[in-house]
Structure 1
């Protein structure tokens, strides 16, 4: 189906659902209103009031008032909730207009959601958000990484190196890669301080220890860690369980994939609670030899009082994955034998590699064949949280954290030059050896520690939050020689490069949401963020990369929120975000062209319609970049690709989301994102091998081009059937064409693809357990062949342009089946 036809069909479906809803609107007449108060009779502004079993919910205004209009007569169950208070449920039989008040009591324990409240957007914050509940995460949690479980949210595109969602996975939101997306767990930064990336493979099955996830698109609210330059992902670990429990879950499926998880907890006894999770995931992967052996554990111990809680978390992850980072060359995908031979003829790879390529499967080919070409990493997170609720309802959070990571990836390098390792030629008899076979390891040994804190207070007409944090990172990067075919006097284990990165980051912010009246509120979020970054030593190409950089950023966010009534909400926001270059941006840069920081001006306009049986949301965005770092083809003095600042680029588009209950048992939800993603006055640089001696590149002035990996269309659709514990989901995903560089050339692009999945579940309560649940997930039902990611290197040889590239094919039809037993 063409993009235009898909877009038209999806839009018609959404408009039809809206039309149907308004046709039935005339039958709704009744009004339900009231107030939410504390035990002292004071209003609780921002409290949530929801009609259980529906999609309808509102939040109270500055006077603690709520109102539902146009309700049908009938029986309803309402629940009112507010942070640090016990939720209250009331059942009513609505036959005429009714006033119903709620008086909430302070919670007997201070629950864990207080930990993330300072950095999350609530119902009145003018930020575009998608909340993913624990139940939604568990529906498909059969072993795949978190990016795959979030893939159905708006503007979210995923990829898997091994092709099946286990091992190294990645994602983009609105075309922004993971290095530009701020990720926190309980308010503590998860992004690597130097690369800015998040390596989900280091935290396998972390989903099983999560309570929920909030995705903020655009700049989002102020938080700690890497600058949010396209989106934020805010994760909360599991809340306190008041009752003892145990959960055993196992799943198995295609490519010898197995996942086993054991969870258990003591429940809350005399204010104390202890929780444990142990997980193991193994998979052979879809790509040849792309195996994964993943282990993780989660431990939590906490004291929960009525106004004070103290909680300690330990998160451990260990991974060993066979490398599949190179992808499959396009010539192998297309069975182009002459093109494969060209790789050897042009000296890109050896003839031995080409011979292997020629005899391998076109979609599962993996260049690596050395048995221990693996990535190995261990990571341990230690976190301590203190939360206190003062008598004036001021909430205080303080957290200390320490993360220790250590690991390496091992590589076999055939016939490599000794001088690349700082070694002199070896004399053996009368022969002078300048090249030999190597086995090497590249190591990272790092420590990350710091503290974050926040104060928040809800007053009549004003919600105020102030907070900040200080974090420090120490990372040792070094390489060692493990083996040489001809070692001479070389001492195996010697380091051939060694450098250290040290980074201090501090930030402070204040947020205020002011209710002008019952409909209009104004929002301001002001953050100051400082960075001190140092690198000292030599990199893997033996260049001295010692340098120092300091930044001080001011990141303001302003917004206005207007609620026409309890069903209709409109907000607009303007934000500025600044982001420092990451480690490789600096270490790869030309000495005469050091990159500078990037700046984003983010404009958002959002409308939300919330009815008893229907939700609709439309978001318009314009993200205007100054000095965005992109690949242009430029190289440094040793031939490595560098990212350079481009003056002007932008992303703009619309995101549409809707959900409805079609019948008592059938529901539908979906989203559609349409966007344009451009870089202005783009200048492409291409290596010209005909000018090898001078190193002069060919320069192409291309004008306005598309930003790489930024599809103009993404869409998701989920039809669900649920009755008596049995559930079926039919899931459809569409991702439009993506260019794999910034030249807008169709020869260097990923084709659009559409994938359908099905999920079956059945849950019941046997006599011997709390629940028993079966899940079967069938991915790629129609066996679509597609690639979700790629890389490319272009060069000119003999006056003709060629490419060396790698595409990442995703698995055809595959399945996972799981069983979960809860006591």
Structure 2
């Protein structure tokens, strides 16, 4: 912990090392000689970038002597590039001309933070993503941003992956695609496996930490990820991306674009395939996707249609590896085998498997199969020079299932009566089931951006979305008959049965309406903002009433989410900000379905305070912020059994996260750069009660043991997360980068018990790249990514549960881990025409 603290102090203190040498002052105005506030200016080849103040001015310090390329841009105007010779202090004037077309950036502007916003955020360009985009899923491409911990079920970043930001899981991270919600409406999670290679069609991403600005969809309790897909390309192109790597990993991507046709139309397309055997045994992935986009550009309007789809088939690896197999002795493993009744192939499998690659599933078709199709129609119109109207219609169709083998399953678990076979009553059977999800998600989003003056900006936005989902399960094979009297089975040679019995069906309907208003008002160098959002959610679901009857029910929730803040621009191209926000979030599907109106959890509520400082100079680009996230009624697992007999999440009255984050990049020379992030935090639940099942001699729950904990760690919330990327360019077209990640201890539950935790880990990756161009080829690039360079043995995710057996007071904790791959590589070839 001392090392982590020292590293964080070094990261946070980097900005004070900066010593100015030369000054470069820039003034930006339009053709009418009106000052342009908020224009972005940058010095190419350096980290110096920022926005003009209310007077249209910006000043860069420490600009080296010599020829420098200056870029200036502002939404609605043509960007300008000008090469100047710096010999000392310089004063430059830029005159912006109106843009002949509407830029795609207006589509996401309403839900984005800008350089003067009083919130913590990180922007990533398509160039940033492309450096590491060799087949791993999107969470791994975001791993070097502040406070992020990524993980993979199959261990190599392909297939089922996820990320946590500030310790918040995916159900608390809002994700939008072009301003359209992506989170699953019921579980609130974001499953990037359903969008394989989506990063190849992304133009830019903004990650806002904390509540952030108002957005559409699920409440942002840890962060929001705002993704914008491809934007206008004026010249035709074709691009091939091919990757081969460890664990027989393949990625093949084809991208094409027409460029601008008749000054009005563009068409872009992508076709991708990713396959991998996975690091974990049988943890294979077969992923396919496409992306199509067509746009029409008018003088003051833009119409874009996007159609994209992903299809995944992954072998299940979501059980993890038991602690007895991963870290235990041979005796511990035999005890585990006996306690869990493992026999035959299952016992041989767990004894013989590599401990770090063990997968408990052996059934050939233990796969997850799902396809998701997205349709988006985006429209923007610059009705007046200071007024832009945006609207979008969207529809998402999802359908698929996962298939699994269930040994010795109880008939009663499937609402079946025991059967008589040759006069013998049979109440258990081996079976294969498929659990299906078929859903529709559609709606509209809109925003109106009005620049009332150089001091006042106003935004009105919102969305209305509906979700309809069918959940159903089928038994497709059984060792024994499912009914005493039935003759429509298909018999197998071994006497088993092919069946088509639907053992459950329920549907759900959810609506999500929100409207928000934002305003920014500038006084001198200060910008004050207010952001008010109202959100109304209705949900119809199959759940239990007070008499424990399973019937269709409905609920309605209304939320008010206000946000206020101020930022101040200093003369040295830096700013400071402070903000206060309130966020609310509804429970997830399981919380509703496995409770009654008497035990149903309440919505979560959070107060978020952000205080930060940003600095952009030629050699340094730094952001430092402190935050407090104070929860009321946060939902967590306690183990307590409710009135339905289920262990669902329960509200805890008081919990919090407080911390400090730093995001720094140093570039003392064009050939060398060093990017550092650090996130130091304290994540606590003030009072936590753990409930542990006590089993009797018949293995039924006879009672629960209750233990109280005070000021205990929030599960899977590390106290420190840090990253580093040291990049060196020995040649103009070659780069060597050492990428490092440190994550401190993570507790698997909320008891702060070290015996139920993930050890801290420090992982290093090496990236090599070389690019060249020749006649007929715009770029021929070769990339090599060596992951886990020093073969660190680590686990980035896991889970636990505890039990007490037959009067023995000993608490047995069952810990399961998801080991990540050792040293492995991805070799990529990129060709652009």
Give the corresponding residue for 2:810: 800
Q: 556, 576, 579: which is aligned to 1:573?
A: 579
**CA–CA distance in 2 between the matches of 1:234 and 1:724?**
32
Could you give the per-residue CA deviations for residues 796-823 of structure 1, whole angstroms, max 9, x where no partner exists? 1222111223200000000000101000
CA contact (8 A) 1:756 1:780 kept: yes
Q: Does 2:31 match 1:21?
A: no
| Offset of residue 345 of structure 1 | 3.6
**CA–CA distance in 2 between the matches of 1:452 and 1:350?**
55
CA contact (8 A) 2:802 2:812 kept: yes
Q: 550, 557, 560: which is aligned to 2:566?
A: 560
TM-score, structure 2 normalization:
0.95
**CA–CA distance in 1 between the matches of 2:185 and 2:11?**
44
What are the ranges of 5 or more consecutive residues in structure 2 without an aligned counterpart? 490-498
CA contact (8 A) 1:341 1:354 kept: no
Moved more, 313-322 or 59-68: 59-68
Residue aligned with 2:6, SS: helix
Q: How many residues were matched structurally?
A: 812
Q: Does 2:232 match 1:240?
A: yes
CA contact (8 A) 2:266 2:294 kept: yes
Give the corresponding residue for 2:798: 790
| Offset of residue 37 of structure 1 | 2.4
TM-score, structure 1 normalization:
0.96
Instruction: Check 1:655–1:694 CA distance in 2 against 1; reply closer, same or farther (3 A cut).
Output: closer
Q: Does 2:594 match 1:588?
A: yes
Moved more, 755-764 or 84-93: 84-93
Give the corresponding residue for 2:493: none
Q: 449, 461, 465: which is aligned to 2:459?
A: 465
Give the corresponding residue for 1:283: 276
**CA–CA distance in 2 between the matches of 1:426 and 1:504?**
43
**CA–CA distance in 2 between the matches of 1:694 and 1:377?**
36
Instruction: Check 1:779–1:748 CA distance in 2 against 1; reply closer, same or farther (3 A cut).
Output: same
Residue aligned with 2:651, SS: strand
**CA–CA distance in 1 between the matches of 2:795 and 2:243?**
26
Q: 659, 684, 687: which is aligned to 1:681?
A: 687
Instruction: Check 1:12–1:453 CA distance in 2 against 1; reply closer, same or farther (3 A cut).
Output: closer
Moved more, 612-621 or 336-345: 336-345
Instruction: Check 1:543–1:419 CA distance in 2 against 1; reply closer, same or farther (3 A cut).
Output: farther
Give the corresponding residue for 1:772: 780
CA contact (8 A) 2:543 2:596 kept: no
Could you give the per-residue CA deviations for residues 530-575 of structure 1, whole angstroms, max 9, x where no partner exists? 0011103799xx9726321111111001001011214321100000
Alignment of 1:323-402 (within 5 A): 323-347=316-340, 353-402=346-395
Give the corresponding residue for 2:127: 135
CA contact (8 A) 1:662 1:668 kept: no
**CA–CA distance in 1 between the matches of 2:420 and 2:179?**
58
Q: 311, 319, 322: which is aligned to 2:312?
A: 319
Alignment of 1:90-169 (within 5 A): 90-95=82-87, 97-169=89-161
Give the corresponding residue for 1:610: 616
Q: 211, 215, 234: which is aligned to 1:223?
A: 215
| Offset of residue 74 of structure 1 | 3.6
| Offset of residue 7 of structure 1 | 2.7
**CA–CA distance in 2 between the matches of 1:102 and 1:658?**
29
CA contact (8 A) 2:46 2:670 kept: no
**CA–CA distance in 2 between the matches of 1:342 and 1:636?**
31
Give the corresponding residue for 2:74: 82
| Offset of residue 516 of structure 1 | 1.1
CA contact (8 A) 2:474 2:502 kept: yes
**CA–CA distance in 1 between the matches of 2:777 and 2:22?**
45
Could you give the per-residue CA deviations for residues 671-723 of structure 1, whole angstroms, max 9, x where no partner exists? 11110000011111111114966632000011110000000011001100122
**CA–CA distance in 2 between the matches of 1:96 and 1:730?**
35
Residue aligned with 1:634, SS: coil
CA contact (8 A) 2:11 2:676 kept: no
CA contact (8 A) 1:171 1:178 kept: yes
CA contact (8 A) 1:794 1:803 kept: yes
What are the ranges of 5 or more consecutive residues in structure 1 without an aligned counterpart? none
Residue aligned with 1:101, SS: strand
Give the corresponding residue for 2:162: 170
Alignment of 1:403-422 (within 5 A): 403-422=396-415
Give the corresponding residue for 2:659: 653
Residue aligned with 1:497, SS: strand
